[in-house]
Amino acid sequence: MDELKAQAIFREQLKKYVDFNEAEWIVFAPYLSFVTLKKKKNFIEPGTVCKDVGFIVKGSVRYFHVKDGEEITGYFSFENEYVSSYKSFLTQTPSVHYIQALEDTDLITITQKNMQAMLANPMLGYKMERFGRLLAEHYLICYEDRVSSFITKTPEERYLDLLSISTGREILQRMPQHYIAHFLGITPVSLSRIRRRIMVESK
């Protein structure tokens, strides 16, 4: 994957949020960086400030904490999604988790500094405000559903939900089961038991 092709893919996906005309794109593009992350390399580590928001052109990443020496995976992002330790990026305070490439991953990234520069740029400011708004709103909606599921559902129900939605099936297919367990808020052993329970009940 070369940088120009990555930019073209990003530009196409960006249209969901804002559509730049040629003149705007020429101003916009130099603010972008092209980054390649080898498998198992970190996009961000705890204690450091997240300087970039990334768009995944190819590959995938996982978010995880380390607690009592154990890695606890909380989230995943795939192709055509954005990736950042968003709180850290927005507030420029240290991240509390890792983000790690699950496979060789190509990203288009925007630094916080460039983001601020574009917001202050008369030619781009308006559309960048809109981009930032729609991006935050998109993740807000995901999180609202996620919090809601922790409040109102059992781990078993959360697992069944995952089976029933398309993005859930993508996660189930592409991720090892112990990542999914932590994503659901339980241990791998417990998820294995839940799966057995479901198998037996529906046999």
Partner DNA sequence: CGAAAACGTTAACAAAAGATAAGGATTTGT
Partner DNA sequence: ACAAATCCTTATCTTTTGTTAACGTTTTCG
Q: Is residue 144 exposed (0-12), middle (13-18) or buried (19+ Cβ within 10 Å)? A: exposed
Could you report how far apart the first and last alpha carbons of the chain are, in Å? 46
How many chain residues are in contact with DNA, going by CB under 7 A? 20
For the window 136-155, what string marks contact with DNA as x by the rule CB under 7 A?
------------------xx
Among 74, 132, 195, 198, binds DNA (CB under 7 A): 195
Q: Is 189 in the site for DNA (CB under 7 A)?
A: yes
Give residues with Cβ within 8 angstroms of 165, minimum separation 6. none
Q: Is 8 in the site for its own copies (CB under 8 A)?
A: no
d(CA 48, CA 97): 9
In the bound state with its own copies, the residue whose beta carbon lies nearer, of 54 and 57, is: 54
Q: Is 191 in the site for DNA (CB under 7 A)?
A: yes
Q: Is 48 in the site for its own copies (CB under 8 A)?
A: no
User: Which bin fits 52, alpha (ψ -120 to 50), beta or left (φ > 0)?
Assistant: beta
In the bound state with its own copies, the residue whose beta carbon lies nearer, of 31 and 34, is: 31
d(CA 81, CA 13): 9
Q: Is 194 in the site for DNA (CB under 7 A)?
A: yes
Residues that bind DNA (CB under 7 A): 39-40, 154-156, 176-178, 185-196
